[in-house]
Structures are given as structure tokens and as C-alpha cells.
Structure 1
Amino acid sequence: MQVTVGVDFGTLSGRAVVVSVADGTQLADAVHEYRHGVLDRTLPDGVTGLGPDWALQLPDDWRDVLRIAVPEALALAGVTADQVIGIGTDFTACTVLPTTADGTPLCELPGLAARPHAYPKLWRHHAAQPQADRINALAEELGEPWPARYGGKISSEWQYAKGLQLLEEDPELYAVTERWIEAADWIVWELTGAESRNVCTAGYKGIVQDGAPPSREYLAALHPGFADFTAKLDHPLSPLGAAAGTLTARAAAMTGINEGTPVSVGNVDAHVTNAAARALDPGHMLAIMGTSTCHILNSEVLAEVPGMCGVVDGGVVPGLWGYEAGQSGVGDIFAWAVRTVATAPYAAEAEARGLSPHQLLTEKAAAQPVGGHGLVALDWHSGNRSTLVDHHLSGLVLGLTLDTRPEDVYRALLEATAFGTRVIVEAFEQSGVPVTEFTVAGGLPKNRFLMQIYSDVLRRPVNVIGSEQGPALGSAIHAAVAAGAHPDIRTASAAMGRIDLAVHTPDPARADAYDRLFAEYRELHDHFGRGGSDSMHRLRALRDAALVEETR
């Protein structure tokens, strides 16, 4: 039996799967939790503090996934290294890091471990919002052509905003930075010993459109020292499904896979999952739901969709325009609700019944009629990625009374994330990009009540990916193409992907009730997100000023 290995690098852990090339059967998987998780308070020294909205990671935590999870998955699968014909990887994005010319992360150089900007900035690092605001404002003022491909604005999460923050806050470190590279490409560099850049992250996160990045003149207008930024990114781009190279002896020793094994071009966790879910056809939207949600949609149509994260030619599969949108907080918001509103009696009841707090709150919330809690929430605890592209917005729950219970707030937040997805779907359809099917992947689809809410709110059937390790399976599929086992991504997806159709279908009465509740959500969405009130921005500014003063 021939197999490929797919490795998915997530926010808190990395996972490896071993998959049959013939039919996609998953033979084994292994998960490794990052030792340092997300650095959002201090650096690993425990002393160097980080400001508001920072989120960093350690490259060696990623290497541990290769050292630990990959060999463990191979052992559990009972396969030999000779049976592995390829390995593929995917990463969160935009997770980006500064390195030397040979790919050494700056945080691993002597004397730089106490410099926050020397570390990889995780996708949810939002401290570059001021830089993103200026990038967007200047692009609009100068009539730059590329913002139209990003819904009019780029996010603070993207490469250029984070790079400008590095320059302005640590210019000395910026000067030392020879390469500015997505983690998706850096991990492939670790495996192959050679730098490569993939068309997906370059197009969606690096503002490369029609083969060209923003002009040197535009970058110099942002900051004179930023004119050379593109040189730190410049490298030929490789199409998805291609081989980036082969495993070096060093990488073979780490993974337990033979030296010389093909390594597929890097990819983004959300985008690679489309192959795993057989969601490559035009109009088939895939929502990858975890701590955040990423919405991926292929189309034969090129259009300007307000607030989308990007549209890239061949960004998901060659021959189609790949669109991306997203919500910055989804599972993270549900976790916040458990931490915040689940009181001691709820925790005790959950423990006594052998349930998690999430399961108990879901059960109680599911017993309510639509609108029975009298609440509506905005799902902006981590800001809004689409369609407002503003990470300085914040969450809101309206309608609280002394009778409001934890399950009421919990349900309102579940519904808010479904409403946020509906806003995204409507934005595409109103822009002439049809959404004909809707499929979900990730960890959250296990919550059947949540998925039923989505089906009712969207008024459409919800398909579910047939694998619990969608991104890793997608990477294994791409590895099979890179190894030559399948001629292209579409063929490999048809053979190795998994999807369960119409698992959830809308109830007309609940859908009608949700239409009325969505109207309230939309009013709040437009009021706080489109200029009716700037109070969320002012509150954040007050908070940030207070935190800065406290650290002095």
C-alpha cells in the first residue's frame, strides 16, 4: 500500500495523518500540543511583556510536530518509510516570521530572544491594525488597483501590515530581516532545505496579484524605509499540488520518512481543506470552523466582493478564481462564554452528569424557541474580518435582563456567528458570485445543534466533511499529487476526499423566526460597523492607553 503523510499546523497544536493514496482511508493520526502555545502576554522568558493584541509563536514548537507527531502517526499506522511516497503540510495564515537568508528565525539568533518582533506573528496577531489602516487609506488616496481584489481593505493580519509594524517599532530588527516568510513556506524550507513560495499565501496574504506586488513608490510613500520590503518576499511562486523539493537527510531524521521523498508546495489550512471535502466546484462554499472560521469559495467569475479577504487566480485549485472570507472569532467566542458566564452551579452540574460545560450549555440552549432569550449579539470579540475588515471592533450582547441565564448568552453567541456567516454569503451573492452549496469542516461541526442553527439561518442544507482531520487530509491529497500518484488536485480529491451531503436541513418555521432575529443583528452590525457609532473604537483606545500606562 502506498501512503502519504499530511501535517496540519494549527493555532495550539499540530497533527499528522497517514492516508492511503488509493482511496483516502485514514490509517492513523497523531496530535502534538505546542509546548508554548500562543505567546500573548510575555515572551518565553516570562519577563518581556507583550502589548495588547499581540500573538506570537515559537518555530521549535512547530519542529516538535515533525519530530513527535509524524513518527507517532507512522508507527500507529503500521507502515514503513518505504511505503510513504510524499508528505504535505499546511499552516494557519497569515502566520509570518522574519529570518536570515538561510531561513534561520531571528528569535533563534544570539541576543535576539528578548525582542518580540524577532518571533513569528500568529494569524491572530492584531497589533498591526494602525499600520493596516494607513495601508488602506493611502491605497485609496492614490487609487492603487490591488485593494479591489481584497474587498477594498487588507487586514491587520496580513503580511504587509505586520511587516510595517516591524519596521516602525523595531527598525534595527527590520534591517536584519533578510527574508519575510509565511510559516506555510518556512516549514517546507525546513523539510527540503530550499526556499519556496506558494501561490496561495502570496496571493491572499502577500498582495501578489497578476504576478505583481504593490509598487515600490507606493511602499515608499507609506514609509521611506519600507520601499525595499518586497525584496524580502521576492521568490518565484509555485502552483498548488507541485513538488517544492524532497526531504533532506536532516528532515528525514526528524520525521522517520526516507530522504528524497517528495514534499508538496506549502498551503493554508483552510484552502487545502477544500480538496479533502470535495468542495472544489464553482459555487461550493466551504466553512472551516474552529477558533475562527474561514470561508473558501471557487468560482469561474471574477468580481469585487466588499470585505472579502481576497480572490486569487488558482488560489485553491488551478483554473478557478478562489475567494476567501472569514470570521476572526467563532470557537474562541464560545470558549469565552464558558469562561465568563458558566457559573459554579453549572460547572457542578456538568461534572455530575459527565458533560463538558459546552455540552451542558448547548443542551439547555437547544431547549429554547428561536428568540426566546430576548437577545442578539455581535460576534466581534476578535474584531471583524469579513465584511467590515476592522479588528478594533468588539463584541456586544443586547437585551440583557436580570432574568438572563448563561444558556441564553451562549445561544445568542452561537446564533451571532451564524448571522456573521449569512452576511458573508449574502455579500458574495449580491456581488454576482453565487453560492450553490454549503459545507462545513473543522472541530465545531461536531455540535449538531450549532450546525442546525446555521442551516436554519442560511436557509440551505449543510454538508459535513467526512473527516475529522480535514486540513491534514487535504495536505495528504496534495502530497499525492506532488508525488505523481494522481494527475491533478481534482482527481485526487475525487479519490481521496470525504463528504456527507445534507446532514442538516433547514426547518421553515425556525428559518422564518431567524429572519426576524437576523434583521436585528443586521441593524446592530451596520450601526456599530459602518459609522453609526464609533464607541467600540473609543473604548478600545481607552483600554490600550490604560494598559500602556500600567506597564510604565
Structure 2
Amino acid sequence: MVGIDFGTLSGRAVVVRASDGTHLGEAVHAYSNGVVETTLPGAVTALAPDTALQVPDDYRDVLRRAVPEALATAGVPAHSVVGIGVDFTACTVLPTTADGTPLAELPDLAARPHAYPKLWKHHAAQPQADQITTLARERGEPWLARYGGKISAEWQFAKALQVLQEDPEVYDRAERWIEAADWIVWQLCGHETRNISTAGYKGIHQDGAYPDRDFLAALHPRFADFARDKLEHPISQLGERAGGLTARAAAWTGLPEGIAVAVGNIDAHATAAAAQTVEPGRMLAVMGTSTCHLVNSESLAEVPGMCGAVRDGIIPGLWGYEAGQSGVGDIFAWFTRTGVPGDYAQEAAAQGLSAHELLAARAADQPVGGHGLVALDWHSGNRSVLVDHGLSGVIAGLTLATRPEEIYRALVEATAFGTRTIVETCERNGVPVHDITVAGGLVASPFVMGIYADVLRRPLHATDSDQGPALGAAIHAAVAAGAHPTIQKAAVAMGRVRRDAFTPDPGRADAYDALYAVYTELHDHFGRGASDALHRLRRIRNATLEGNR
């Protein structure tokens, strides 16, 4: 089986054995254009604040380069591969023509930012998200409660409404508005599909329908037929066969024409199978540039700040709940780029360490609370439980004696406090969390994971794979190809987990309770309306940047 994980900066392909999930080979291809945040490729005009775009052909290059390389590394003949599955960051969404051609690839639209895929962390649609939320509350739309009471700037409808309001021509030219997970499957099998996961969590598709025409017309008269004209398509279940690999895609990948292509999926949701978190009450935290939290339940509950509660959204037959943090590894990376003095950089180089490793080593033995700091992990806004991308980061308690490693530790702790807030919100509102499994790149840091275990006051299991999402995509491919009858059975056979990989220290856990109380106080003060200072600062910044464009 081949699984492909399309991430924020690169795509990763793995080749695994269908019988037991044994990892046979892998390859990574970095997107040539990365994240487009300042100017379009080859252009000089600055993009609007909070823009995050990508280039569609970077995704195809993963098929052309990473898949053949992974196959060569595995040393297995191509004819032995019987299925391919993909996952994608979400909501990453793009406008296309009726045949799936991205508008960004049309010569007359190549200079128009809204013709490009909007990456999950494109937050410039916050005003449109607020508009959707306000109207849904006023009208008492029943689907709003399943999204924790707020619609995110990261999702399909907010981003599409932004296109309509800011570039109506691009909106009109978009015959389809499609998640990248479904678009890349279209590239593989030659026809359009829509998966239940992205439709439910990112597309406000509940109980078999999108928001109705009257609601959309109230947002904007020309938005009335958005769902009917640009989204509507039969919804496919996870683990289903989307189609067979086309001759063109076979030439790109080096795989046999006609093999099973699985229905697309969200990266974190695919990882649930690799992490064996397919039973109710087993939370998965996929930790990388951002963190996505997933947990299944047998019943529907209203949980504030969720990214969605979707029937069959993670595993068929269960209600899947999604929450998340928009910035985690991104926050740590920001600090190593901007907050590390020259002598620290020299020391790291002399020891052969990264800046992360040096800061972690210096901070590891510090007693909990010894730095006197508490931070808010909102450098990329808050996804859960506040659902507000107009918020920004805060560090409280700084003095002239504060050292870089102490700030770094406080930022790591802040992200752990954010996860604890999500876990406690689930439990308070009728969604039990029996245990937690972690996956993603940050699992490789004992420093980070030790803090999380202490803050959460519970042991953490860990996926025993460096490529959890790609393995999960391969597991879904195995089901689509008929190698396993269900995702649950495939997860048991192919998933890989280390139980109790990180365990809490009772003394540190007790000490973290005091810091968490301060975090919660600041969280509620800045995030729940006692002060709108962070929103005012964001408005001042955006107005200034817009005036200087």
C-alpha cells in the first residue's frame, strides 16, 4: 500500500505492507513554493495580512517525485502495490473549473491571489467567519451547535465568501470549490469525489445537507447558490474506493494503472487509524505546526469550541469530535527564528544541536514555575475552544532576568495548557476522554512530551511511526483495495502504538495546576470579552499594513 500525506510545507509518501503495516520505504518532497504569504510567485505586490496560499503544481510534484522515490527505497516491484490513499491539511481549499483545472493555472487569473488554494492557516477570512456565525445565531441555525457555536475563518464557507466579496470575477469563474484532499484524488482517479470528513468538519455538511439557500442569500445575494453550484456532489464514506488510478497518474507515480484509490481524508483523521484511536473515548492529538485533537463518541453532545461533531467523520458508525490549536510547532519555530541570541546560536552550532535542542536542554531541569511566566498560545489565533483568529499571543511575567530558554519553556507549557483546556471542555460537556495518544513530529521531543504528560496529569501513548498520517492514508487504501474489511480491523492489523510512552511526575503535575490556573484566568480575560485589547491591536496592525500596500 502507498499512503501520501500532504502537509503544510511538504508531501510524504510511504510504502507499507498491508498485512501488518510494516514500513518498507518512504520519501519526502518539499513544496517548491512552500506557503505563499507575502507575494505571489514572480510578483512584487504584497498580499493582504493573514494570507496563506499555495501553488497546485507543488501537490502534483509530490506524486511525480515522492511516490517513485518511496517505491525505489522500499525495493518492492510496482505491480505489488494494490492501493493508494491520501490525506491533506484541512481546510485547504481551491477554486477550479468544471474539469478540475485550478483557476491559478489559467493564464489570465495567475496574478489574482483569490485564484490560488487557500491553506488551512489562511486567516484573512475572519470577518466573513464572524458574519456567518452572527447570522447563524440570529436565525437559530441548528447546525451551529455542532461546531461549538462558532464558524472558523479556516473553513470553506468563510474563505469562499471572502473570494466573493473581494474578487467577484474569480468567484464567478470558480465552477467547483473543492478541498485539496478531494482535488488530489480527482488528479489520481480522474473524477470528482467529496469525502465525508472535510465536508462535515470544514464544509458545514450536516444531516445530509449544506446550509440552505435562504441562509446563504442572507449572507450575500450572490452567495445563495454557492452550495448547489460549487459544492454539491454525492458524499463518499471514509475507506471507500474513489476509483482506479488513471494512466496519467500511473505515469506520474510509477504505480500500476487501475489500482484502488481511496477516498480522501484530513491528515489528522487519517492518523486515527494509525494510532489505533478508533474506539470511543480515545483521544488523538496530532502535533506538528498545529495540533488537531480527535475523539470518537457513541452519542452526540454540544461541546463549545469544537471544529465539528460529525457522524461517521472519523470512523463509520460513531460521532467524531474535532478540536485543535492553530499554532504549536509554528510557535516554537517562530521563537527559535526571532528570540535566540547570537551566543546561543554559536553554542548550538558548536555542540551540533538545533536551537530547539539547545533551548530544551537548558530548560529541562528548571523547576515548574521557576521562570515566573505564563504565555497564551494564540500566535496564530485560537481554534479551540474560543474559535477566534483575531486573537494573538501573550507572554506575562517577563523581567530583565528572563532568559531565552525560560520563554521557550513557557511557550511549550502554553500549548500544553491549551490542550488541557480542550480535554476538560470535552469532558465537562459529555464527551469522555479515557486516554490520549500523541502523533506527529513533536512526539520526537522528550522535553515537549514530558511537559504535556505533566500538564495533562495522565500517561500519553505514542504512535510508533514517524509518518502517522501517511500510514493512516495507507490503512484507508488497504480497506479501499479490499485487503481489510473495515477501518477498525485494518487499524488493529496495521496501526502501531507505544503504550505509556510518556508518564507524568506527580510533583510536577501538582505544580502545573497553579500555572494552569493563571493561564485560564488570562485565557478568559483576553478571550471571552473582559478585554478586547488583542483585537484592537490586530485591527491597528491590519489597517496600517493595508495603508502601506
TM-score grouping bracket, smaller chain normalisation: over 0.9
Residue 60, structure 1, aligned to residue 57, structure 2: yes
Are 1:198 and 2:198 an aligned pair?
Answer: no
Are 2:432 and 1:434 equivalent residues in the alignment?
yes
Q: Could you list the per-position Cα deviations for residues 519-551 of structure 1 after superposition, in whole angstroms to 9, with x for gaps in the alignment? A: 000000000000010000000110011111111
Letter paired with 2:358: L
* Superimposed CA distance per residue, residues 282-315 of structure 1 (whole angstroms, 9 cap, x where no aligned partner): 0000000000000010111210000010011000
Q: Secondary structure at the match of 1:212?
A: coil
Alignment of 1:57-136 (within 5 A): 57-136=54-133
| Residue identity in the other structure for 1:42 | T
Aligned to 1:224: 221
RMSD, aligned α-carbons = 0.6
Measure the CA separation in 2 of the matches of 1:190 and 1:426: 41
Give 2:267's match in structure 1, choosing from 263, 266, 269. 269
Corresponding position: 1:187 with 2:180:
no
Separation (CA, whole Å) in 1 of partners of 2:538 and 2:7:
28
Q: Secondary structure at the match of 1:384?
A: coil
- The within-5 A match list for 1:250-265 is 250-265=248-263
Q: Say yes or no: does 1:28 pair with 2:25.
A: yes
Which residue matches 1:210? 207
Alignment deviations for residues 397-423 of structure 1 (CA, whole Å, 9 cap, x no partner):
000000000001000000000000000
Structure 1 position 167 matched with structure 2 position 177: no
Distance 1:111 1:77 in 2: 42
Aligned partner of residue 235 in structure 1, secondary structure:
coil
Distance 1:34 1:98 in 2: 20
Q: Distance in 1 between matches of 2:245 and 2:449?
A: 40
Contact 1:286 1:295 in 2 (8 A): yes
Q: How do 1:343-382 residues align onto structure 2 when only pairs under 5 Å count?
A: 343-382=341-380
Identify unmatched segments of 5+ residues in structure 2.
none
Residue aligning to 1:137: 134
Alignment of 1:142-161 (within 5 A): 142-161=139-158
Amino acid at match of 2:50: D
Q: What is the SS of the residue equivalent to 1:434?
A: coil
TM-score, normalised by the number of residues in structure 2: 0.99
Shift of 1:46: 2.8
1:48 Cα deviation after fit: 3.2
What's the % identity of the aligned pairs?
70
Match of 1:457 among 448, 451, 455: 455
Query: Does structure 1 residue 540 correspond to structure 2 residue 538?
Result: yes
Distance in 1, matches of 2:299 and 2:519, equals 30
Asked if 2 retains the 8 angstrom alpha-carbon contact of 1:293 and 1:330, the reply is yes
Letter in 2 for 1:100: T
| Aligned counterparts of 2:257 and 2:512: Cα–Cα separation in 1 | 56
Runs of 4+ deviating beyond 6 Å: none
Supply the distance in 2 between the matched residues of 1:251 and 1:450 (Cα, whole angstroms): 40
Q: CA separation in 2, counterparts of 1:503 and 1:171?
A: 52
- Looking at structure 1, the residues matched to 43 and 166 of structure 2 have their Cα atoms a distance apart, in angstroms, of 21
Q: Verify the 8 A CA contact 1:48 1:114 in the aligned structure 2.
A: no
Equivalent position of 1:309 in the other structure: 307
SS at match of 2:85: strand
Letter in 2 for 1:454: Y
Distance 2:411 2:381 in 1: 14
Matched, 1:447 2:445: yes
**1:173 Cα deviation after fit:** 1.1
Q: Is the 8 A contact 1:17 1:28 kept in 2?
A: yes
Q: Distance in 2 between matches of 1:414 and 1:173?
A: 41
Alignment of 1:321-400 (within 5 A): 321-400=319-398
Q: CA deviation at 1:506?
A: 1.2
1:336, CA displacement in angstroms? 1.0
C-alpha offsets along residues 488-529 of structure 1, whole Å, 9 cap, x if unaligned? 101100000000001111111111100000000000000000
1:111 aligns to what SS in structure 2?
helix
Shift of 1:110: 2.0
Q: Which consecutive residues of structure 1, in runs of 5 or more, have no partner in the other structure?
A: none
> How far apart are the structure 2 equivalents of 1:540 and 1:319?
42
Work out the CA distance in 1 between the residues paired with 2:147 and 2:236.
21
Specify which of 43, 47, 53 is matched with residue 46 of structure 1.
43
